[in-house]
Chains A and B, each alone.
Chain A
Amino acid sequence: MPKPRRILAGLAAATVLAIALAGCSANASPAPGSSTEAGAPVTGGTLVYLEHQTHTGLYPPGAGFYPNGGIVNNIADRLVYQDPKTLEFEPWIASKWESNADATEYTFTIRDGVTFSDGTPLDAAVVAKNFDLYGLGDPARGLTVSEAINNYESSEVVDKNTVKFHFSAPSPGFLQATSTINSGLLSDKTLDLTFEKFGPGNAANIIGSGPFTVENEKIGTGLDLVARKDYKWAPKSWSNQGRPYLDRIQITVTPEASVRVGALLAGQAGLVRNVEAQDEPQVTGAGFEVFAPQTNGVNNGLSLRFRNEKLSDIRVRQALIAGIDRAELVKTIYTKNYPLATSVLSKTALGYVNTEDKFAYDPKKAETLLDEAGWKLGSNGIREKDGKPLTLVVNEAAPQPRSFDALTLVSQQLKKVGVDLQILKADAGTYAKAIQDADQVQIYHSMVGRADLDVIKSQFYSKNRNTLLNRDNSDQSIGDPKLEELLEAVASTADPKARIEASQTVQKYLADEAYVIPFFEEPQVFAAATYVHGFASESVGRPSFDGVWIDKK
């Protein structure tokens, strides 16, 4: 249940936010995701970067966790580079690539002269070894398969510069998968490490070919990224083609949000991650810049677990959608960096199609639908059917921004149409169990960022995140085989155009069946001091430090 203190804080923050927004809505802000340039870049200097959480491991397939990804993105290169704006691909470690017509075979040509930071060459053999591990995993060493790689079978080293990958079924998402941090290329020796050795305390021994290396790790407090002076294989579109401008980035873990923002404003840090929505006005008001790169994937929102008895009636699901004022939610809890969702996918995601009309707010309609479905208003204002109240449970998505505040507001909105929405806040073990059971958690709050069409499959497919619990964990049965089929089509249609259509079919299907309630397009929010220039991020909002420079001291 919401604690009064949190609500009060939320109200106070909302008021401040509203006043601040009203006051400065006329101010133009720089485009999110890239900082404004000023003069010629300066080489040298140390940037103090405040992280929200401590990293938990640098095994690339497990680097989805932001603190991990922020490091991996800067120490490991990828075969191909995906432009975070256009989402187009360009050469990086692979100078060219091709695949066969049904996307079951990919050939990459590896460029010459690239070395890992331990001096060993980056050649076809080591690339093959990387993907054998990421594509197949190694449970004996505790190393998992990369979620981004589907249907991987084997690799084949054709010659020193050519590597071929074979797939058991079409894998059209593979090219994009090679561009994600989950496919960061590591040295031969590093690939022999066990899961334990990828953990904190050993970060300096994770060897990649990226523009930075790790030094000075202090478990739980942070580490330094140190520039590789001989780095010269950046993707063509990067502003910086030589060594990184900065000498060093000092990553310092600062869990407390007010301390991160305060330290930035007081000049003790140059860049901070995870500026909370309620703190944004304070940062911009003091003349600092806020960057909010988009995560380009499945929007922050709710999955309605239709296999649960209460939600099995589509009218109840439609009523929930109609009963939630998403516009008020985004306006009250978030800022303009959190655009209102218009589909299950983000506008900037590949294959996006607008299904906004299915998510309209209409409390009258919600009440009618619930009446029709047999849920009659009880004496306490909560609807009932066969003596059972219409009580639903949603999880607090702790990693997502202000999840609890957002759900509290949604709960208040739904109360007006007679739905009792409870928020699950629990210890990790209880939580991990509860979210896998539709009888305990009927509505699942989450999002997933990945700039590929596969992202929608990652979120909803029975053998991936399975957020709808279409596959029941107790008996492994599938509730909606049609959804499964549609998702499989996205992941295994070789023709690019047909694949986009497959994704759009899923988006429409999810909206038509009222399986989802998307809230907003989730950004990663950073703030930087005015002396920091050239801030950029990869396609899911992890910082790229190669082109960052500072003009202070």
Chain B
Amino acid sequence: MRYVLGRLGQAAAVLLAAFTVAFILLQAMPGDAIMIKFENPELGLSPDQIAALRQAYGADTPLPAQYLHSLLGFLGGDFGYSIQSGTPVRQLLAEVVPGTLILAALGFVSAVILAVGITILANLPGLRRIADVFRSLPSLFVAVPVFWLGIVLIQVFSFQLRLIPVINPGPIEGLILPVLTLAVPISAPIAQILIRSVDDVLGYPFVAVVRARGADPWWILWRNVARNAVLPAFTMAGVLFGELIGGAVVTETVFGRAGVGRLTADAVTQQDTPILLAIVLLSATAFVVINLVVDLLYPVLDPRLGPRRRARVAAPRERKVVSV
């Protein structure tokens, strides 16, 4: 329990640090959102008019006061307003977060399924001859640009085969291609690590022992190897979250989906500070939570990482516990 509380405290510190660093960095950038919006020559405003607007927006308030104001607002759940459009940031996030969560979650699950599938195919006793083909898939997947993949999928499945409309699709139809687009590059590192760990585990002496005792390859793969090999891949999954966000930016743009990715891309181009602060905090929270969950789940997957008592109880029953 103390461990969990400690981790929660750490998480809070990380979030505060993320907020502060983001605030400072955004202030340090040349120009600001008000300038981008109102000093845009296209509005044709005179210098006096621009000065009046700057004052109305409180752009001349000292920075520490602005920082404190934003921080207190965030603590109270008020993320302020988008400078570019004036929409409350909370409303913007509320509209896009569910869509992105679904996309990211399904993308991630599909990526895992894809990765596991590739790993199994690469190790299937019956498919040894073409195993190399499957083994090279992750390198190929990692090299495919998300942008290109999305457009190719649209061209083939929507425009040529006309199976799925890309404009105004149904809620489920609309997820198929984006999820696939997102899953392919995410699955690559997971598959790579899974294949590698399976190879490692297969080389361990205990596998030879099990084989010597007459277990068939399927039994070994499933019962002995899989559970050992999954741990490094699991760690990787926590780290991959960042890539998921990056992939979402492109995927959402190509497929015209509203989402955190596109909101971020637009806010970055416009230096829309309130939105960016909220997104930084949101991403940091997601990172912290995912890594916390991963850390807390380690002992469940691998008794060696749990409290000693459990490990000792578990050890005799689990043949796979072999020092690494």
Whether the Cβ atoms of B86 and A195 lie closer than 8 Å is: yes
A195 to chain B, nearest CB (A): 5
Whether the Cβ atoms of A266 and B87 lie closer than 8 Å is: no
Say yes or no: is A263 at the interface (Cβ < 8 Å to chain B): yes
Say yes or no: is A387 at the interface (Cβ < 8 Å to chain B): no
Checking B86, B87, B155 against A262 with a beta-carbon cut-off of 8 angstroms, the contacting residue is B155
Whether the Cβ atoms of B166 and A263 lie closer than 8 Å is: yes
Complex CA gap A310/B255 in Å reads 46
Contact mask A268-285 → B, CB, 8 Å, 1/0? 110000000000000000
From residue 450 to 504 of chain A, which have CB atoms closer than 8 A to chain B?
458, 463-467, 476
B176 to chain A, nearest CB (A): 15
Whether the Cβ atoms of A196 and B55 lie closer than 8 Å is: no
From residue 46 to 105 of chain B, which have CB atoms closer than 8 A to chain A?
46-47, 49, 52-53, 55-57, 81-82, 84-88, 91-92, 95-96
Assuming the A-B contacts A201-B92, A268-B158, are A142 and B86 also in contact, with contact meaning beta carbons closer than 8 angstroms in the complex?
A: yes
B77 to chain A, nearest CB (A): 18
From residue 436 to 450 of chain A, which have CB atoms closer than 8 A to chain B?
436, 446, 448
Complex CA gap A139/B51 in Å reads 9
Assuming the A-B contacts A144-B43, A220-B263, A432-B35, are A255 and B256 also in contact, with contact meaning beta carbons closer than 8 angstroms in the complex?
A: yes
Checking B42, B45, B86 against A199 with a beta-carbon cut-off of 8 angstroms, the contacting residue is B86
A152 to chain B, nearest CB (A): 13
Say yes or no: is B269 at the interface (Cβ < 8 Å to chain A): yes
Complex CA gap A429/B268 in Å reads 10
From residue 7 to 54 of chain B, which have CB atoms closer than 8 A to chain A?
29-32, 35-36, 38-47, 49, 52-53
Interface footprint category on A: 35 or more
From residue 154 to 204 of chain B, which have CB atoms closer than 8 A to chain A?
154-155, 158-159, 162, 165-168
Contact mask A147-165 → B, CB, 8 Å, 1/0? 1000000000000000000
Q: Which B residues are in CB contact (< 8 Å) with A142?
A: 53, 56-57, 86
Checking A56, A141, A194, A436 against B85 with a beta-carbon cut-off of 8 angstroms, the contacting residue is A56
Q: Total interface residues on B, using CB and 8 Å? A: 57
Whether the Cβ atoms of A428 and B271 lie closer than 8 Å is: yes
Say yes or no: is A253 at the interface (Cβ < 8 Å to chain B): yes
Q: Which A residues are in CB contact (< 8 Å) with B285?
A: none
Q: Which B residues are in CB contact (< 8 Å) with A380?
A: none
Whether the Cβ atoms of B56 and A145 lie closer than 8 Å is: no
Most A CB atoms within 10 A — which of B45, B87, B167, B259?
B167
Say yes or no: is A244 at the interface (Cβ < 8 Å to chain B): no
Complex CA gap A463/B49 in Å reads 10
Beta-carbon nearest neighbor of B35 in chain A? A432
Whether the Cβ atoms of A258 and B42 lie closer than 8 Å is: no
Contact mask A198-227 → B, CB, 8 Å, 1/0? 111110000000000000001111000000
B147 to chain A, nearest CB (A): 9
Say yes or no: is A3 at the interface (Cβ < 8 Å to chain B): no
Q: Which A residues are in CB contact (< 8 Å) with B207?
A: none
Q: Which B residues are in CB contact (< 8 Å) with A256?
A: 151, 253-254, 256
Say yes or no: is B291 at the interface (Cβ < 8 Å to chain A): no
Whether the Cβ atoms of A465 and B30 lie closer than 8 Å is: no
Whether the Cβ atoms of A262 and B159 lie closer than 8 Å is: yes
Whether the Cβ atoms of A432 and B87 lie closer than 8 Å is: no
Whether the Cβ atoms of A201 and B258 lie closer than 8 Å is: no
Q: Which A residues are in CB contact (< 8 Å) with B35?
A: 429, 432-433
Assuming the A-B contacts A142-B53, A256-B253, A427-B271, are A219 and B167 also in contact, with contact meaning beta carbons closer than 8 angstroms in the complex?
A: no
B317 to chain A, nearest CB (A): 53
From residue 247 to 295 of chain B, which have CB atoms closer than 8 A to chain A?
253-259, 262-263, 266, 268-271
Whether the Cβ atoms of A147 and B30 lie closer than 8 Å is: no
Whether the Cβ atoms of A199 and B82 lie closer than 8 Å is: yes
Whether the Cβ atoms of A262 and B95 lie closer than 8 Å is: no
A296 to chain B, nearest CB (A): 17
Q: Which B residues are in CB contact (< 8 Å) with A269?
A: 167
Complex CA gap A198/B255 in Å reads 27
B36 to chain A, nearest CB (A): 5
Q: Which A residues are in CB contact (< 8 Å) with B52?
A: 139
Chain A interface SS verdict (over half): loop
Contact mask A47-67 → B, CB, 8 Å, 1/0? 010100010110000101100
Most B CB atoms within 10 A — which of A50, A435, A463?
A463
Whether the Cβ atoms of B47 and A220 lie closer than 8 Å is: no
Say yes or no: is A254 at the interface (Cβ < 8 Å to chain B): yes
Complex CA gap A466/B46 in Å reads 9
Whether the Cβ atoms of B87 and A137 lie closer than 8 Å is: no
Checking A196, A252, A431 against B168 with a beta-carbon cut-off of 8 angstroms, the contacting residue is A252
Whether the Cβ atoms of A259 and B85 lie closer than 8 Å is: no
Complex CA gap A220/B263 in Å reads 8
A352 to chain B, nearest CB (A): 21
Beta-carbon nearest neighbor of A462 in chain B? B46
Say yes or no: is A27 at the interface (Cβ < 8 Å to chain B): no
Complex CA gap A147/B40 in Å reads 12
Q: Which B residues are in CB contact (< 8 Å) with A463?
A: 46-47
From residue 95 to 119 of chain A, which have CB atoms closer than 8 A to chain B?
none
Whether the Cβ atoms of A429 and B31 lie closer than 8 Å is: yes
Contact mask B97-137 → A, CB, 8 Å, 1/0? 00000000000000000000000000000000000000000
Beta-carbon nearest neighbor of A141 in chain B? B56
Beta-carbon nearest neighbor of B81 in chain A? A196
Whether the Cβ atoms of A253 and B47 lie closer than 8 Å is: no
Say yes or no: is A29 at the interface (Cβ < 8 Å to chain B): no
Assuming the A-B contacts A263-B166, A429-B29, A429-B32, are A147 and B44 also in contact, with contact meaning beta carbons closer than 8 angstroms in the complex?
A: yes
Assuming the A-B contacts A140-B56, A199-B86, A252-B256, are A50 and B43 also in contact, with contact meaning beta carbons closer than 8 angstroms in the complex?
A: no
Whether the Cβ atoms of B271 and A220 lie closer than 8 Å is: no
Say yes or no: is A265 at the interface (Cβ < 8 Å to chain B): yes
Assuming the A-B contacts A56-B84, A142-B53, are A476 and B47 also in contact, with contact meaning beta carbons closer than 8 angstroms in the complex?
A: yes
Complex CA gap A542/B207 in Å reads 71
Contact mask B226-258 → A, CB, 8 Å, 1/0? 000000000000000000000000000111111
Complex CA gap A255/B56 in Å reads 33
Checking B36, B56, B258, B259 against A139 with a beta-carbon cut-off of 8 angstroms, the contacting residue is B56
B253 to chain A, nearest CB (A): 5
Q: Which A residues are in CB contact (< 8 Å) with B255?
A: 259
Q: Which A residues are in CB contact (< 8 Å) with B39?
A: 432, 436
Whether the Cβ atoms of A259 and B151 lie closer than 8 Å is: yes
Whether the Cβ atoms of B47 and A147 lie closer than 8 Å is: no
Complex CA gap A54/B158 in Å reads 23
A260 to chain B, nearest CB (A): 9
Q: Which A residues are in CB contact (< 8 Å) with B259?
A: 220
Whether the Cβ atoms of A219 and B36 lie closer than 8 Å is: no
Complex CA gap A467/B151 in Å reads 38
A190 to chain B, nearest CB (A): 14
Most B CB atoms within 10 A — which of A219, A436, A467?
A219
Most A CB atoms within 10 A — which of B38, B44, B82, B162?
B44
Given contacts A137-B49, A196-B81, A256-B254, 18 further A-B contacts (CB under 8 A): A62-B43, A64-B42, A139-B53, A144-B49, A197-B86, A199-B85, A200-B92, A201-B95, A202-B87, A219-B91, A259-B151, A268-B166, A268-B168, A429-B31, A432-B36, A446-B41, A465-B44, A476-B47
A-B contact pairs, 7 of them (CB 8 A): A144-B45, A147-B45, A219-B95, A219-B258, A220-B96, A262-B159, A427-B268
6 tightest A-B contacts by CB?
A: A429-B31, A199-B86, A196-B86, A220-B258, A147-B44, A139-B52
